[in-house]
Amino acid sequence: MVIEILFSEVCNLFGDGQNAAYLKATLPEAEFIFTPLTDTPYFAENTPDMIYLGAMTEATQRKVIEKLMPLKARILELVDAGIPFLATGNAGEIFCRSIHYVTEEIQVDGLGIFDMTVKTNLFDRYNGKVLGELEDIKIVGFRSQFSFLFGDNSSNYFLKCLRGVGINRESKLEGMRRNNLICTQLIGPILALNPLFCEYFIGLTGTKAEAAFRQSAMAAYEQHMKEFCDPKVVF
């Protein structure tokens, strides 16, 4: 199995680099390719089994869009072929139609894989929690962001929010999904916080694997579930 981690030297905010570390612990026999922003992604001419992209600054976001825009057709080819691709934090925003940076009065075209727009306001940070549901899996996560998404994701959302907000303050549908491309604002890091989802995501490759440190990870997950289900906990 070959797993490509994109631009980890700059796309690692909120501890999201630990998603890659948790995958490495779960899949010790896999080959991990860490592609820096200065290099051409491995996926441009090869087909990895999985791709991961983590949260980044707003300035880096524009550089990542510039880097990946010429590879849009190839990304769509991989997505439509079912290659699992996880984007966390604000990474998934690059796949939207456009991003409006309100503070800087800049609008940038995204890759347009999702017909969604993004509004980023550096004077309006949102911090919160989410308890969501993916099929029969409950997922917990945290949010710390300057941006919200706008548009209709009712047919391609990632999670139904049981508590917390979705793509914006009025939504209860979190994230976006096309085939096995999953974009979520949740940080934590999401894979280590949610061993069941980690196993689910790996399973999209056709490989069955037990999440690393499963007993301890499940104990922590169950404690988070208990806290997130407590009506006294503020979201």
pLDDT in tens, 61-87: 999 999 999 999 999 999 999 999 999
Q: Is residue 235 part of a domain?
A: no
What number is the average pLDDT over the span 154-179? 98
Q: Is residue 80 part of a domain?
A: yes
Q: Is residue 57 part of a domain?
A: yes
Specify the number of domains making up the chain.
Answer: 1
Q: Is residue 48 part of a domain?
A: yes
What number is the average pLDDT over the span 228-232? 94
Q: Is residue 76 part of a domain?
A: yes
Q: What is the pLDDT of residue 185?
A: 98
User: 131: domain CATH number?
Assistant: 3.40.50.880
Strands across the sheet containing 159-163: 137-145, 126-134, 159-163, 173-174
Q: Which domain holds residue 72?
A: 2-229
What number is the average pLDDT over the span 35-43? 98
Q: What is the pLDDT of residue 29?
A: 97
Q: How confident is the model at residue 38 (pLDDT cuts 50, 70, 90)?
A: very high
Q: What is the pLDDT of residue 222?
A: 98
E strand spans, the chain: 2-6, 31-35, 50-53, 85-88, 98-101, 106-109, 117-120, 126-134, 137-145, 147-150, 159-163, 173-174, 176-178, 181-184
